[in-house]
Chain A
Amino acid sequence: MSVLTTNYLTPTGREEAWRFTPLKRLRGLHNGSASISDRNSLVAKAALPKGVSFTRESLAPLAASDDIIIERIRGAASDVSHLAIAANVEIQEPIFLTRIAGALDSAELSRVRISLGTHAVATVIVENIGDTLLAEDLEISLAPGSSLTFVSLQEFDSKSVYTARHHAVVDKDAVFKSITVTVGGDVVRILPTVEFIAPGGSAELLGVYFATTGQFFEHRMHVDHAVPNAKSRVNFKGALAGKDAHTVWIGDVLIRAVAQGTDTYELNRNLLLTDGARADSVPNLEIETGEIVGAGHASTTGRFDDEQLFYLMSRGISLENARRLVVRGFFNEIITEIGNEEVQERLMERIDGELERAGA
């Protein structure tokens, strides 16, 4: 055990990046007061297929970060858990990574790398479970022509604090698709970020989150169109129920002057299921060139549609079941993108359970 050094700036909550986050509930991840364990909780759930390796290595970061917690992780941990998928390897079945050995009295600072060689194709599902204090610097490298579906499941128990950056670096003609699901934890703050380093790449950032009483879930995208002819799509859907449930969605998309031919659209929809919950939604599109294919954003926040509930109930379905159907339906569009029935049904049942617990 050691104690984090406090050489870095400590956020005060006045910074744009931290203005929504309840710093006091971060258990010292942000200011260095958390004691640090040498836990290394991420493991492969099953034997890895040929062409795939999962090892501990010393790796330099792929990309700079201006996030203070990421800086702290990098300052303290040089070893990286590296899942490597070799060039030209195509894997149909998802590769599952899961967590063992969490704890709340000390923090795990985790560095993870997922790398795909040229023309590799894979689906990686990361299951974040249990009660834990975890800060994570997860970097994804997509070589030219590769394709990754990255599923990040925050199925934590109720006390977990998780702060992370999931950063993808997308090379020429590579296809990145992420599905971020946050349905558990006390405080979860994820920065799903993408940078294109050569033309022709595409990134699709999908996500769902469901915060109930007292939970704080923040998802702060950043998509950097720094090269021409890349495409990005963002679609996050959230539901909230119960007193002081709070979600934050920030969609920063930057189209730099050189990024001609960019095609981007971002969407965030929130469903407020009870009073007393709060959804912040801030799309932010910065455009430095007019020579683009398209750029747009939309954000909506609504409540249960009485007409939908009436229609379902007029067929004998109880109010409780009608609400469950509507919420499942709301999330279905994104959840089915995971493409794994077992995971999808598990998440839907978790969502049913959260809904029931919140009494919505």
Chain B
Amino acid sequence: MSVLEIRGLQVSVNTENGTVEILKGVDLTIKSGETHAIMGPNGSGKSTLAYSIAGHPKYTITGGSVTLDGADVLDMTVDERAKAGLFLAMQYPVEVPGVSVSNFLRTAATALRGEAPKLRTWVAEVKGAMEALNMDPAFAARNVNEGFSGGEKKRHEIMQLELLKPKMAILDETDSGLDVDALRIVSEGVNRAKANNDLGVLLITHYTRILKYIKPDFVHVFANGKIVEEGGPDLADKLEANGYADYVSK
């Protein structure tokens, strides 16, 4: 049983116009097996929350804490956070020219497992993960995210989620840019990871449609850098009907 605890998290970024505070005190607790949806309008700070937890150097933590099973996440380097069990599925996965998907996955698995996976079982593992996400086997030889379609990038992210087996996953707008079929396939991948690894999920989204496939236990409405309302799955239905207008105007 793992617990990711976010307490009073405040984050700012440096821009041309000086320092801008984006997160204004976020409190959130996610336990293994739970799925929390964070919903909010564009620019509310949802992605900043995701990248701050993962340790992107662009963001400066100005207050609060993030712990995973009591360990101080904010004190860890980016790779240490991954080793501690955190995973971020990115909205815009980065191209790494000249590095093949298979080399990348094996390097990551080696780093996270502490030893290189046995070649024979590893090949089968990767093949299985790709088949489960309807991915062409030729994909493994392509360079990481280079020339991938939007849907391929998201499948590649979820394939990593399944292979690397984190404790807590943050999915940053994984649904954006996916057609209905791809959304279903990607969602099934997340649900498998939940079922197989008792994964805790922080699902960041603008729209409610992914929640038809990945059922949240809790829904948090995010606006202006903090959580402004919390509830169960029915809160998503309310947002579907009314939009974010109530929260933005506050």
A: residues with CB less than 8 A from B are 305-308, 310-319, 321-322, 325-326, 328-333
Contacts and interface: CB of A to CB of B under 8 A. Distances in A.
A315 B96 CA distance: 13
Given A307-B94, A311-B96, A332-B98, A317 B107 contact: yes
B193 to A, nearest CB: 15
Contact of A318 (B87, B95, B111, B160): B111
7 contacts: A307-B94, A312-B96, A312-B108, A313-B78, A313-B79, A315-B108, A325-B104
Interface string B78-102: 1101110001101001111111000
A325 B107 contact: yes
B197 to A, nearest CB: 15
A319 B94 contact: no
Given A306-B57, A325-B104, A314 B96 contact: no
B182 interface: no
Contact of B98 (A311, A318, A329): A329
A329 B82 contact: no
Contacts of B104: 312, 315, 325
Tell me if A's interface is mostly helix, strand, loop or mixed.
helix
Given A315-B108, A315-B111, A328-B99, 12 more contacts: A305-B94, A308-B95, A310-B57, A311-B90, A311-B96, A312-B108, A313-B79, A315-B164, A318-B79, A325-B99, A329-B97, A329-B143
Nearest to A333: B98
Contacts of B108: 312, 315-317
Nearest to A327: B98
A331 B97 CA distance: 9
B112 A315 contact: yes
Nearest to A311: B94
Given A316-B111, A316-B164, A332 B99 contact: yes
Given A310-B57, A310-B78, A312-B104, A317 B98 contact: no
B143 A316 contact: no
Contacts of A333: 97-98
A317 B107 CA distance: 7
A179 to B, nearest CB: 15
A321 B103 CA distance: 12
Interface in B58-92: 77-79, 81-83, 87-88, 90
Contact of B99 (A307, A310, A319, A326): A326
Contacts of A331: 98
Contact of B82 (A305, A314, A332): A314
Nearest to A320: B79
* CB-based closest 6 A-B pairs: A329-B98, A332-B98, A316-B82, A315-B108, A313-B78, A329-B99
A188 B179 CA distance: 54
B56 interface: yes
B54 interface: yes
A146 to B, nearest CB: 31
A86 to B, nearest CB: 37
A179 B101 CA distance: 26
B85 to A, nearest CB: 10
A324 to B, nearest CB: 9
A135 to B, nearest CB: 34
B97 A330 contact: yes
B136 to A, nearest CB: 21
Contacts of A308: 94-96
Contacts of B82: 313-316
Interface in B18-53: none
